[in-house]
Amino acid sequence: MRVLPTSLPDVLLIEPTVFEDARGFFFESYNRKAFADAGIDADFVQDNHSRSRHGVLRGLHYQIEHAQGKLVRVVAGEVHDVAVDLRRSSPRFGRHVGVRLSAANRRMLFVPPGFAHGFLVLSDAAEFVYKTTDYWYPAHERTLRWNDPALGIAWPEGIVPTLAPKDAAGVPLADADTYD
C-alpha cells in the first residue's frame, strides 16, 4: 500500500495494493502490521457501515471525550470526505482537508483523534464503512457546522445537502468544544 500525506500531516490518504484480473479484484483493506509500519499504529475497536443517498451530508462529527480515530472508505458510490483539525495546540487548528473517496478509486483516509469528520454523497447512493479507535458515546458526540465560513470548506457545487437535525444544528468553530 501507499500512504500519501495530505495538507494536514496527521491525516493520511491510503492507496491499497489491488490485485485485479478478469475474475475481479482483491486487496487488504486493513493489516495491523502494515499500517503500523506505515506510522498508523491505531487500535481499532468498532466497525461501522452506513448507506446514504445523493446529497446527504453527514457531519462534521467528533467526540469531545473518547475521541475517535477513524479509518474510512467507500465500498459503493462516491463521497467528498472532510477532516477538520480541532486540536488547539496544533499549528493547523481549524484547517481542513477534503478528498474524494469512491468504490472505484478504493482510497481510504485515516483521520486521527482530535479531528471532526464528515462527508457529502456525490453518487446516487454511497456505502461508507469505517473503523474507529474508540466506541460511540452519544453524550460526548459533538457536531461542527458543516458550512461555517470560518472553516472555508469548498464542498462540491450544485448539491443542496440533506442534513439530519443534529447536523443542521452544528455549532460554528468559534463556539465548538475543542481539544487541547
Query: For 4-22, what is the mean pLDDT?
Result: 96
Q: Is residue 103 part of a domain?
A: yes
CATH number for the domain that contains residue 50: 2.60.120.10
Domain of 97, in residue numbers: 2-17+43-175
For residue 97, give the nearest of 46, 112, 106 by alpha carbon: 112
Query: For 164-178, what is the mean pLDDT?
Result: 98
Helices (H), 16-164: 32-37
Q: Is residue 81 part of a domain?
A: yes
Q: How far apart are CA 43 and CA 65, in angstroms?
A: 17
Q: How far apart are CA 70 and CA 129, in angstroms?
A: 10
**Known catalytic residues?**
61, 130
How many domains does the chain divide into? 1
Q: Is residue 6 part of a domain?
A: yes
Place 2 in a pLDDT band, splitting at 50, 70 and 90: very high
pTM: 0.95
Q: Is residue 35 part of a domain?
A: no
Residue 154 has a pLDDT of 96
Place 107 in a pLDDT band, splitting at 50, 70 and 90: very high
